Amino acid sequence: MLSQKTIDIVKSTAPILETHGVDITTYFYKTMFEAHPELLNIFNHANQSQGRQQTALANTVYAAAQYIDQLEVLLPTVKQIAQKHRSLTVKPEHYPIVGEYLLKAIKGVLGDAATDEIIGAWGEAYGVIAQVFIDIEKEMYVEAAEKSGGWEDFKEFIVEKKVTESSLITSFYLKAKDGVSVPWYLPGQYITVRLSIPGQKHLLNRQYSLSQAPGSDSFRISVKREADHNPQGKVSNYLHDRLNVGDTIEASAPAGDFYLEKGEQPVALISGGVGITPMMAMLGSIAENEPNRKTVFVHAARNKDAHAFGEEAAALVEKLNDGKIYIAYEAKKDESEVCDITGYVSRDFLQQVIESNSVCYICGPISFMRAVVSHLTVLGFSKNNIKYEFFGPALALEA
């Protein structure tokens, strides 16, 4: 239990820390990785170098500080972060390290303004926040390990099939090396894959959504080659160019709180580009378990060449008694490319094809998700009926 004095200090200094938030977390990561380079085997270096992870952690620590006397308000956010922590094998022994360097960073950035009293109060508050994470993560590790076919940390998988799905996306079918069938998962969840790439000093971890409904004995992930920017994406290019049938890769058990909820409510699955992957698992699950559920599947791709799972999605929608599929191409290469919308998915279009009481699942590039979420909000969809997954640090969209 924190004293009222500690609570008052933390609450009154949280806004000051927030103004220096990114400076503090940037300082924090730099000094922490200097002292504990082994943690670079867990963190995503590309997210670090673009400042995305710093912002996500800073936002959460200051939000938590503001609610330090009613942490239950933050539980949904904590659970979402804890899912990612569990999939990356963040453990209780890591929390004191993060705490130590976070406090050193507050002192380092604020200097004398961070008195011993303030640092002491933040130390206590961090301990309370960390314990909430540790307790929730402990339950998640137990749940992952106790599931039929489950395991706690990482486990080895063999690539049993590699399939080109479009000019940019390739699927990998992963079968456990020990021969045990993969556990049941919720359609929409992801796994973290971990690999050692020649020439890279540290292990690389990346999340990939499972792109087929649960029930098979192996996982399928579908990876977009990130080749548009310099430097090119490390893991996606390695997987496309180097990882072949018979090769080994490590994966942690399925995680994530973006998943299809069963029910009577009509459902809209709206994706852009590689954001189609969790939607394929959801669509497959509806086709198998809820074929009478009213379903609209909207997918936006750059053009036909970049359009993955065209036939597979159409075949799944065929199995539904009340299913519709709409494809948008941003720019058709020529008139032989057939689609339902040329250009962006507009608000008018969404209004025409999606019933207003639908639950909408959205995944795609950030600009696509911002546009779709904003259209649905203007059309009167409630926050509860708009669910999305961002393929990067999750809090970025809200920020």
Ligand X SMILES: Cc1cc2nc3c(=O)[nH]c(=O)nc-3n(C[C@H](O)[C@H](O)[C@H](O)COP(=O)(O)OP(=O)(O)OC[C@H]3O[C@@H](n4cnc5c(N)ncnc54)[C@H](O)[C@@H]3O)c2cc1C
- Binding footprint of ligand HEM, residue count (CB under 6 A): 24
Site for ligand HEM in 337-396 (CB under 6 A): 393-395
Nearer to ligand X, 21 or 273 (CB): 273
Give 224 or 304: the residue with its C-beta nearer to ligand X. 224
Binding-site partner at residue 183 among ligand HEM, ligand X, none, CB < 5 to 8 Å by type? none
**111 vs 395: CA distance, rounded Å:** 29
What is the closest distance, in whole angstroms, from the C-beta atom of residue 39 to ligand HEM in the complex? 5
Pick what 60 binds: ligand X, ligand HEM, none; C-beta below 5 to 8 Å, kind-dependent. ligand HEM
Query: Closest CB to ligand X among 25 and 236?
Result: 236
The reply to whether 365 sits in an annotated binding site is no
Candidates 103, 274, 328, 350; binder of ligand X (CB under 6 A) is: 274
34 is catalytic: no
CA angle 71, 75, 77 (to 5 degrees): 115
Instruction: Kindly tell me which of 232 and 367 has the beta carbon lying closer to ligand X.
Output: 232
**Stretch 235-264: interaction string toward ligand X, x if CB under 6 A:** xxx------------------x--------
Based on CB atoms, which residue is closest to ligand HEM, 166 or 277?
277
Segment interacting with ligand HEM, rule: CB under 6 A, options 126-134, 136-144, 194-202, 317-325:
126-134
Letter for the amino acid at 151?
W
Q: Which of residues 15-54 bind ligand HEM (CB under 6 A)?
A: 39, 42-44, 47, 53
Question: Taking CB positions, which residue lies at the least distance from ligand HEM?
Answer: 394
10: nearest Cα among 117, 112, 104: 117
Given CA atoms 379, 385, 390, 395 in this order, what sign does their dihedral have? Answer: positive
Q: How far is CA 151 from CA 42, 136, 278, 301, 310, in A?
A: 18, 17, 22, 36, 34
274/224 Cα distance (integer angstroms) = 6
Which of ligand HEM, ligand X, none does residue 88 bind to, with CB < 5 to 8 Å depending on kind? ligand HEM
Query: What minimum distance in Å lies between the beta carbon of 144 and ligand X?
Result: 16
Contact 174/160 with Cβ under 8 angstroms? Answer: yes
Which partner from the list ligand X, ligand HEM, none does 42 bind, CB cut-off 5 to 8 Å by kind?
ligand HEM
Work out whether the CA dihedral 363, 365, 366, 370 comes out positive or negative: negative
Q: Which of residues 197-236 bind ligand X (CB under 6 A)?
A: 206-209, 222-224, 226, 229, 231-236
Q: Could you give the 3-state DSSP secondary structure of residue 212?
A: coil
- Residue 94 binds: one of ligand X, ligand HEM, none (C-beta under 5 to 8 A by kind): ligand HEM
CB of residue 191 to ligand X, shortest distance in Å: 9
Question: Residues 157-162: contacts with CB within 8 Å, 24+ apart?
Answer: 157/219, 157/248, 157/249, 157/250, 157/251, 158/246, 158/247, 158/248, 159/243, 159/244, 159/245, 159/246, 159/247, 159/248, 159/249, 160/218, 160/245, 161/245, 162/243, 162/244, 162/245
Contact between 32 and ligand X by CB under 6 A: the answer reads no
DSSP 221: E
95 labelled catalytic: yes
CA dihedral 47, 50, 51, 57 (to 10 degrees): -20
Does position 129 interact with ligand HEM (CB under 6 A)? The reply is: yes
Burial per residue of 60-81, b for 16 or more beta-carbon CB atoms within 10 angstroms, e otherwise: bbbebbeebeeeeebeebbbbb
Q: Is 215 assigned a ligand-binding role in the annotation?
A: no
Residues 6+ apart with CB under 8 A from 289: 262
Count each helix (H run) and each strand (E run) in the chain, helices first.
12, 12
Query: Shortest approach of ligand X to residue 203 CB, angstroms?
Result: 12
The tokens for 126 are 């961090």
Tokens of 386: 């708009």
86 binds, among ligand X, ligand HEM, none (CB under 5 to 8 A by kind): none
278 is in an annotated binding site: yes
Give the separation between CA 38 and CA 35, rounded to whole angstroms: 9
Contact string (CB under 6 A) for ligand HEM, positions 57-86, x = contact = x--xx-------------------x--xx-
Per the annotation, binding residues for NADP(+) are 273-278
Per the annotation, binding residues for heme b are 85
What residues make contact with ligand HEM under the rule CB under 6 A?
39, 42-44, 47, 53, 56-57, 60-61, 81, 84-85, 88, 90, 94-95, 98, 129-130, 133, 393-395
**Catalytic sites, residue numbers:** 95, 137
